A = this chain, B = another copy of it.
Amino acid sequence: MINIDLAISGAHILTIDQNMTEYKRGSIYISGNRINWIGPDVQQPENCIIREKIDASGKIILPAFFNGHNHAAMSIFRGLGNDQSLDKWLNEFIWPAERDLMNPATVYLGTMLSVIEMVRSGSGIFSDMYFFEDEVARVCEEVGIRGIIGEAIFDFPTPSRATPQEAMEFTRQLYNRFSNHPLINVSVAVHAPYTCSPDVIRQAGELSEELNIPANIHLAETIAEIETMAERYGKTPVQYLYDLGFLSGRTVAHHSIHLTQDDRHLLKETGTNVVTLPNSNMKLGSGACSVAELILLGITVALGTDGPASNNNQSMIREIQQLARLERVINLDPTGLSARELIRIATINGAKAYHLDKDLGSLECGKKADFQIINPNQPHWYPLYDPYNSIAYAMHSEDVESVIIEGKVVMRNRVLVNVDEERIFREMKKKIM
């Protein structure tokens, strides 16, 4: 007899495995935190003792989304100083507010708010770059979502660390504390080429190599960055990082908008991964990353929301749909990224970029049980010619009915299981508004 903790049946399962296997009426059997069996309903294994069953008839099952880049606690600043130039926004609104408001308690609260929003829109994991990242880990443990936590490294003091060395030392502590944690991974989080000295970037790269963990960095996000780097070093930001030995298969480069063809080849040559952030890039007027071009070169491109202050939302569904449209309008061509490709970008590609694809990103026997159950009985889902298409263009966040992470139901019928959402809203009102 096989012990099954949770058996879900009757669903249209989009596995997002290499063959894009689908089961029109399929089941997933979970033992502990892993998928024990997945396949068509009619081939369900016998000799199972099933602890809990969910009938998902008429529903769609998809891997949980992989949010490749965030500053989750910045929900606290959502809407603050909107409609300003980037320079004015940072200097007059965000940076003073960070100095005044950011402490462990507000990072906890802001991250909790974002995590609620992420789970409610189907995300199972997010990569974070901010301050007091131990608080981010605490939120993940409480809610039951995965987090890749990265304490931000700047040349100058941050709300949490006085020097870049302290931030790196803290990264090492986080690594030691969480290296066997079921939900938490740790990354080295270098803010950007223009906010870190060559020495700091070199040291951070070495730390990532030593611990064999991802190294995040904002890269080629704005024209201003390109100009600054040209002025300081006579190089593009990509060339600069390449010359410092920072770029590798562990590197995850966020934004990567303003690239030369040489830059793209350096990213390809080094195995650097890219996370594209279409809503943030549009809202901040940064520009548009040409994703199809990167994919054509064989670069792994994942997707993220960026922080809530620059988006201003935390739904990966909105990112998929934005990437779909942005790619089409910049090329004046509606044949660029297919709906299937877009959904791979939002799921398995994130797992690949962070070297977690052995466990995450697709629904296969032996992989972690991380997925969402979607209810398509909504007007915008009719008629249903192709579920990939409906996800890539029409779906709403609220259609995500339940979310399973690490084999546990984290949201059930639109209610988060482990957190009192109303309490968080009240706290946010009391502390921030």
A interface list, Cβ under 8 A from B: 75-76, 78-80, 82-86, 89, 113-114, 116-117, 120, 223, 279, 281-288, 308, 311-315, 322, 324-326, 328-329, 331-336, 338-339, 377, 379-380, 382-386, 389-390, 392-394, 396-398, 421, 424-425, 428-429, 432-433
A284–B328 CB distance below 8 A = yes
In the bound complex, CA of A339 to CA of B312 (Å): 13
Which residue of A75, A385, A429 has the most chain B CB atoms within 10 A of its CB atom? A385
In the bound complex, CA of A79 to CA of B384 (Å): 7
A421–B379 CB distance below 8 A = yes
B328–A282 CB distance below 8 A = yes
A279–B379 CB distance below 8 A = no
A84 / chain B contacts, CB cutoff of 8 Å = 334-335
Specify which of B382, B385, B392 is in contact with A425 (CB 8 Å cutoff). Answer: B382
A428-B383 in contact given A283-B328, A285-B328 (Cβ < 8 Å) = yes
A79–B283 CB distance below 8 A = no
Q: Which residue of B lies closest to A93 (CB)?
A: B385
A332–B384 CB distance below 8 A = no
A393–B312 CB distance below 8 A = yes
Q: Which residue of B lies closest to A120 (CB)?
A: B379
5 pairs from A and B in contact (CB 8 Å cutoff)? A79-B390, A279-B325, A383-B433, A384-B433, A397-B398
Which residue of A283, A329, A397 has the most chain B CB atoms within 10 A of its CB atom? A329
A75–B329 CB distance below 8 A = no
A432 / chain B contacts, CB cutoff of 8 Å = 382-383
A325–B425 CB distance below 8 A = no
A86–B396 CB distance below 8 A = no
Q: Which residue of B lies closest to A376 (CB)?
A: B425
Which residue of A76, A282, A392, A398 has the most chain B CB atoms within 10 A of its CB atom? A282
Taking the closest CB of chain B, its distance from the CB of A380, in whole angstroms, is 5
Taking the closest CB of chain B, its distance from the CB of A93, in whole angstroms, is 10
Q: Which residue of B lies closest to A337 (CB)?
A: B83
Taking the closest CB of chain B, its distance from the CB of A11, in whole angstroms, is 17
In the bound complex, CA of A154 to CA of B51 (Å): 62
A382–B78 CB distance below 8 A = yes
A79 / chain B contacts, CB cutoff of 8 Å = 383-386, 389-390, 393-394
Specify which of B287, B322, B331, B429 is in contact with A382 (CB 8 Å cutoff). Answer: B429
